[in-house]
Structure 1
């Protein structure tokens, strides 16, 4: 399977369309749309895998939807999901803490110094 990728220096002609007054908003929308496209590809591939497994008899149709994880697996998945969201949303949390007078560069350095025994 070959996948087309733009060659070096390939670029759409003309100016990039702008929809919002802030160019960063346009950039964010572009990133979200690219991510949405990637998620859709993953959904299609998962659907294909599920159908092939069902057609081969290796997995009954609807088995994935009917699956209910055991409590230990559910807890493991929840912890992984929380860590994943923390990685994605860390910048939002950091900005919120800073705006509320929480963590700042100075308070962070104070903690580092204390842990290093330099208080």
Structure 2
């Protein structure tokens, strides 16, 4: 569930469009940072328990079901990242 803040978005820079771009970049930065840490933890645990090596992880080829699931996740992710742009479009349509 996507949560939306109430009220106007604060403007920190001279150009509100740059503020929106910065918000998108920061959302992406947060997502990538969390994913990197979790992935690093999983890979270290797998290697420490002698379950999978980094080479096996690199050689993995997803099947059609996995590809479809990843595409669905990617679509939802892009929606979250571009939320600030979508909110503006909706506001403009209401005007």
Normalized against structure 2, the TM-score is what?
A: 0.53
Provide closer, same or farther for how the CA distance between residues 38 and 24 of structure 1 changes in structure 2, counting only shifts above 3 A: same
Contact 2:46 2:52 in 1 (8 A): yes
- Structure having the larger proportion of residues in helix: 2
Which has the larger displacement, 79-88 or 50-59? Answer: 79-88
* Alignment size in residue pairs: 84
Aligned to 1:89: 82
Aligned to 1:114: none
Higher gyration radius (CA): 1
Unaligned runs of 5+ in 1: 1-18, 107-119
Which has the larger displacement, 77-86 or 30-39? Answer: 30-39
Aligned to 1:79: 72
Superimposed CA distance per residue, residues 12-62 of structure 1 (whole angstroms, 9 cap, x where no aligned partner): xxxxxxx94348856974784586256335413422331231132111222
Unaligned runs of 5+ in 2: 1-11
Contact 1:53 1:59 in 2 (8 A): yes
Superposition map of 1:27-38 within 5 A: 29=22, 32-33=25-26, 36=29
Normalized against structure 1, the TM-score is what?
A: 0.45
